[in-house]
Amino acid sequence: MSNEFPGWHGTTIIGVKKGGEVVIAGDGQVSLGQTVIKGTARKVRRLSPGGHDIVAGFAGSTADAFTLLERLEAKLEATPGQLQRASVELAKDWRTDKYLQKLEAMLIVSDGREIYVITGAGDVLEPEHDVTAIGSGGNYALAAARGMMDSDRTAEQIARDAMAIAADICVYTNGNLTVEKI
């Protein structure tokens, strides 16, 4: 049996782009080991650097994610309206800065036109099929959403339905959603 402190688990974040809108949704559960610590965390945020609306969702350590969101905001202020460039600059810093390398989080970000996943491996990924998901229930939500993309559901309906499916399967995901549309 391991003596290690149990890791933080949890979160499912999904981004869906359809019909001229992007929706990012996230659940509210925070778990420590096998214990639910909080059920109403807000892991999807709206940022407005330089007057440009950005929606971001995060999975992983909350403190680490907020550090990354602050860095992203600074990059966006330096390159107003250029989410891709700011995301690449953040990923470069994350990959090369010794302090940032220790951060354990992932981000889904969107300006309403594009949607990206930013990882600590230096990746800025633009999803295929206009849907992406991260976190412990991310693969469940992604599969569910992909199956609904050809339906007549809106981006928000797909995100909500996919999150409900993930919450039914992943013990680290609940149905208490934060949904931001851009």
Which domains are delineated in the chain? 8-173 (3.60.20.10)
Q: 3-class DSSP state for residue 54?
A: strand
Q: 3-class DSSP state for residue 101?
A: helix
Q: Is 167 annotated as a binding residue?
A: yes
Helix (H) or strand (E) holding 158: helix 155-169
Q: What is the pTM of this model?
A: 0.91
User: Tokens standing for 173?
Assistant: 């995901």
Helix (H) or strand (E) holding 49: none
Q: List pLDDT tens digits, range 52-76.
A: 899 999 998 888 888 889 989 999 9
- Residues with Cβ within 8 Å of residue 182, at least 6 apart in sequence: 21, 22, 23, 24, 46, 53, 54, 55, 110, 111, 112
Instruction: Check if the beta carbon of residue 116 is closer than 8 Å to that of residue 124.
Output: yes
- pLDDT of res. 152: 97
In Å, how far are 18, 27, 31, 148, 161 from 153, measured between CA atoms?
9, 20, 31, 7, 10
- The closest alpha carbon to 107, from 59, 140, 139, belongs to 59
- Residues with Cβ within 8 Å of residue 70, at least 6 apart in sequence: none
- pLDDT of res. 9: 54
Q: List pLDDT tens digits, range 138-169.
A: 999 999 999 999 999 999 999 999 999 999 99
Question: What would the mean pLDDT of 7-35 be, rounded to a whole number?
Answer: 88
- pLDDT of res. 7: 46
- pLDDT of res. 4: 47
Catalytic positions are 11
User: Tokens standing for 64?
Assistant: 């680490």
